[in-house]
Structure formats: C-alpha cells, structure tokens
Chains A and B, each alone.
Chain A
C-alpha cells in the first residue's frame, strides 16, 4: 500500500486534489481511497487529506501516520505544521514552490510552481489560483499514476480544458 498525506489550506482545492489522485489511481486499475480530514469548514485553515493506493481493497479508515509521500500545496503551511512528521525514511516530498524551501532541504523533495502555472493560464476561481489539477500532472511525472489516467481523471471531473493544460505544464516543469 502506498500512502500519501496532502497538506493544503481550506479553499485551495486540497480535497478535490485528493479525489483526483484516487480517481487517477483507480483509472490505473488500482484500489484507492481519498479521505479529507475536516476540522471547521472555513477558508484559509490548514487542512490535511489522506490518500491510499493499493492492489487490493483498502480496509483502513484511520489517518496516515507514516506516509510514503507528503504533498504540500501551500508552502506557508511549513511554518505552522510539521508536514514531515512520520514521513517514512525513504519517503518523498512534493512542494508547490518555485524552489526548495529551507525546511524541506533535508528530505527527498521535488518542487514545481503550481501557483505560477495556474496564474499563467488564468486558472483562478474567486481570486484563488487552482492548484488541484496541476498537482495531478506533477504526481503523474513522479510515477504515482500514469499520465493517461491523470488526464482521464481531470477530464472526467472538469470540462474547462485549461485544467488539463495546467497538469501537462506541471508534468513538464517538475524539478
């Protein structure tokens, strides 16, 4: 089983990103679950989602304490939450940032400027850049699921083609 913990802020689309990750894995023929952990449902608060991917049905509903992968949609959360807590020794990190933030330097970290991609494509809703579709492209590049399944998941969920464009851009730009 592969376990992912996703950190975001309320309103950034973290819950949808988690669902897209599960859906893309599901389209790869795997079993997958996406479980947002809700506190009060308000914008801006740090929230966390748990994604599990496996070859057999997943029976675990509890939180992920030792993730294989940590995804951070908002680097400012690094100052508030220890997003690396419990990360497996060989675990990976993906951060939405133009460079590697100092707190993440000692981990096996990759980064991509998802916010920049969203702004470039004017993929903005109610003033917030959309991060949940570009991050799927970056994760496909990391091998979490196939590029085709990532595209399928996005197209099943959104009709605006810029979402797929953003994902492909992130796929190319992942560092």
Chain B
C-alpha cells in the first residue's frame, strides 16, 4: 500500500515487518521518531517484540548483544553521540558475530551542539566489522532495513548491519512509501553459535594471539563473502518487489566524462545537478555510493572525479575521496560540503563540477 511516510517511520515500519524478538534502544535527536514509533507498535500490539527502554546507547547495544546470542532477531537505532557512546559495544557485536541490525540517523558531532546531517558519526565506525549502507529516499530506508536483516543473518555473513540515513534531511522528510509486506523474504533467524545450556561453551574468553588473529581474519573473510550475499539479496528483492539496488546508484554514468561521487541524500541532489550540467554540454554523471563496508570497486574508468564528502578525517581528508584514492589510485576533486547540515543545493553541486581542480581539496563556502 502506498502511504506518505518519514524516513524514520519507514525504518520503524520495516522493523515491524521483520518482527525482531527484542528491540533495545535509547532516544536521540533525530532518531527519536524510530524509537517512539516502535514503542507505539509494541503498545498497540502490532509488533510482538520485547522493547527494552535502556538507560544509554552503550546498554542498547549491550542488550542487543545479550539477546542476539540466544539466537533471536534484534534491532536498535541511534545517531551521532549515541553511536559514539556505544562504540565499544559496536565493536563487540561484530567480534561476537551477531547479526544485529541498527539504523543510524547520521548527525554531526559536538561541540557545538548540532543536530543536523553529517556522515562522520557512522564513518568513525567503519573499522568495526559492521556492514554499512547509506540510503537516499524514504523508500530506500524501508527497503534497506528489510534487506539488512536477511544479509546480517545469512550464515556466510553473521555480521551486524548498519543502515544510515541523513538526519532531518531524510529522517524527517515525508515521501511516498510502498510498505510491501515482507512475507517470506526474510527467513527465520538461525544462529549456529547461539548460547545454550544444553551445550555449554565459553564465549569471548581470554584468547591467544594466534587464535585471536585467526578470528579477526574470519571476520574479514565473511566481510568479503558478504559481497555475494548483498548481491543475491538485492537481486532477490528486485525480483520480488521490483525495486533494484546495487553497490552504487548510477545516474547517466554510461557516457559521462566527469562523475560526481557522493553518499546519502546529496546523491539525489547530484542527479539534478547532472541534468543541469548536461544542458550546458558538460557530460556529467552521478554515482551515489551506497555500501561503504564492504567497499565497492566502482567502475570509474578514465573519468574525472568530483567527490563530495559530508564528513572529514582531520589531518587526512574526506573519507570517501580517500577511500576511492586508496582503492583505485585515481585522483579527484574533493569537496567537503554539508557538515553539520550545511545547505548544499543542486546548483552548488553543479558549481563543484564546473570549478573542479583535480588533485585538490575544497571546503565549500569556506576557502572559495
């Protein structure tokens, strides 16, 4: 059924479809609506989950870990400082090979207090062993959340998945949503290493360097295997629901001579910029990077690259640009834009392309 929904409510609606046994979450702007909606679902009986109103994000992830290891489906949601506060347990969840799904509503980090969109929060968790996808529409927030459960719980993966949506820009916008019933798209969760008093084992004990090293390598092997699982899941989703997703969302890329690479809602705004640039005779295309872990190997060929980073790694550079440079050896024009919810329009993005200086970095609106 087609409805009008916010990004946050779309995530909650997908969670209701996935029907986790346990949801443990702590409210934080701009994620709060997800938690409120799930609490509503649980109160009105349309979601049978146990909802644990924890006293912190650290405990939110800890409670999900405790629940997940019994072999049941779990979900949580957070944002920004919440994600940083639970960072220890975020690492633990991946190390413990638990298929927890978390929505992170991307928001800037203080100080000063700023509740608007930025990707630095989730990108600080990029080395934790979580899979990370960034979405750009309300529908995609719903679809990616559904797929996240199936991907995480696949025994070839058994790693947690984080679904990222831009704070306010996407979390609070109302757009149309096709709330497709999930039926059998997500199979029942089976966790091979679930804790059981019938087969007592020690979990997370002291571990020798050699064994620890092998266990870490196993995480990376599963991360690599997840590439195939993501592909299969997105294909299965497309054939069931008719909506196709991939590593990147490519817009007019085939004959493009200059590519705009970005993440989240900026990737949609970039498509409008592409149309403007094309009308001026500049053969532009937009490549919106969806999965940052595992990292895609985009088809960049010999095209010029304009990479927009709504994040920053101080002392180094934009994280998307740095990653592309490291993976492909290609230089780019790196524009740092949209930090703390800075307004970036399609006209601004078209401007980035017109002024591109490959090999340089520019902070939009600051060093012009």
The CA of A19 and the CA of B138, in the complex, are separated in Å by 14
Pairwise interchain contact A38-B169, C-beta atoms closer than 8 A = no
**Stretch of B179-187, B217-225, B227-235, B341-349 on the interface side:** B341-349
B169 closest partner in A (C-beta): A61
Pairwise interchain contact A62-B172, C-beta atoms closer than 8 A = no
User: Quick check: is B358 within 8 A (CB to CB) of the other chain?
Assistant: no
Total interface residues on B, CB under 8 Å, equals 24
Pairwise interchain contact B175-A60, C-beta atoms closer than 8 A = no
User: Quick check: is A18 within 8 A (CB to CB) of the other chain?
Assistant: yes
A62 and B176 in contact, given A19-B4, A26-B4, A38-B115 (Cβ under 8 angstroms): no
Pairwise interchain contact B346-A22, C-beta atoms closer than 8 A = no
The CA of A106 and the CA of B260, in the complex, are separated in Å by 43
CB distance from A144 to the nearest CB of B (A): 16
**Stretch of A4-12, A28-36, A89-97, A129-137 on the interface side:** A28-36
User: Quick check: is A117 within 8 A (CB to CB) of the other chain?
Assistant: no
Pairwise interchain contact B344-A62, C-beta atoms closer than 8 A = yes
Interface residues of A in 46-101 (CB under 8 A from B): 58-63, 65
Total interface residues on A, CB under 8 Å, equals 21
Chain B residues within 8 Å of A118, by CB = none
User: Interface residues of A: mostly helix, strand, loop or mixed?
Assistant: mixed
Contact flags (1/0) for A10-23 with B, using CB distance below 8 Å? 00000000110011
User: Quick check: is B190 within 8 A (CB to CB) of the other chain?
Assistant: no
Contact flags (1/0) for B27-38 with A, using CB distance below 8 Å? 001100000000
Pairwise interchain contact A63-B174, C-beta atoms closer than 8 A = no
Chain A residues within 8 Å of B346, by CB = 59-60, 62
The CA of A25 and the CA of B346, in the complex, are separated in Å by 24
Interface contacts beyond A36-B172, A61-B173: sample of 17 additional A-B pairs, CB < 8 Å, sorted by A: A18-B174, A22-B174, A23-B4, A23-B174, A32-B174, A32-B175, A33-B173, A34-B173, A36-B168, A38-B30, A38-B168, A60-B345, A61-B170, A61-B268, A61-B269, A62-B343, A62-B344
Complex A-B: 22 CB contacts under 8 Å: A19-B4, A19-B174, A22-B174, A32-B176, A33-B175, A34-B4, A34-B173, A35-B169, A36-B168, A38-B30, A41-B29, A59-B346, A60-B345, A60-B346, A61-B166, A61-B170, A61-B173, A61-B265, A61-B268, A62-B269, A62-B345, A63-B345
